[in-house]
Chain A
Amino acid sequence: DIQMTQSPSFLSASLGNSITITCHASQNIKGWLAWYQQKSGNAPELLIYKASSLQSGVPSRFSGSGSGTDYILTISNLQPEDIATYYCQHYQSLYTFGAGTKLELK
């Protein structure tokens, strides 16, 4: 099975700054990677699919990149509503999530 290693586990940042979260797959997943945002007490929401495609309605300050085994989620101009936990997910015939990155305000 493909394993997804996400880092960091915790991230502290200031409003207006940019942050990056990385996700490493144990083998080439050919871009079949999504990013989700989960706010406390809520269900996850899809942000990015196919590594870099922005889901409809998601602000353009969110972007995704990467290929092969390594992927990045970038949030530019951090806003208060971005405080959440972020998960990467490999999706293909099986579905595997990273362990999550909890983003907090500095």
Chain B
Amino acid sequence: QVQLQQSGAELVKPGSSVKISCKASGYTFTSYDMHWIKQQPGNGLEWIGWIYPGNGNTKYNQKFNGKATLTADKSSSTAYMQLSSLTSEDSAVYFCAREGSYGGYRPFDYWGQGVMVTVSS
């Protein structure tokens, strides 16, 4: 069965960077876009961007250009998101989610459990 296993919670200092992971299993990792979504405490969902692990192509929400960098390691079926120049506004839960295999455009059919990133001195 499809599973997306994300790395553990992070406590990081302002101005630093953090890299979180999303290990995929149960499907062909290189055949599906992987998306990343931000959820601040008590708030809604915000799309960050996607990566196609098959060739490394990426697309970002303009708001996260320069903030988030998406990469993928085909050998370990793991997607990564690095967040840089962290501020308190980056404190949130970050989800990875697989884009589904429906015809046409596709929503997110499997999600990781989420990673809490806390930015604090």
Contacts and interface: CB of A to CB of B under 8 A. Distances in A.
Interface of A: 32, 34, 36, 42-46, 49-50, 53, 55, 87, 89, 91-100
A32 B45 CA distance: 17
Contacts of B107: 34, 46, 49, 89, 91
Interface size class of B (residues with CB under 8 A): 20 to 34
Contact of B46 (A42, A43, A97): A97
B113 interface: yes
B44 A97 contact: yes
5 contacts: A46-B100, A53-B102, A55-B109, A87-B44, A99-B44
Interface of B: 35, 44-47, 59, 61, 95, 97, 100, 102, 104-109, 111-114
Contacts of A34: 107-108
Contacts of B61: 94-95
Contact of A91 (B46, B59, B105, B111): B105
Contact of A43 (B35, B59, B100, B113): B113
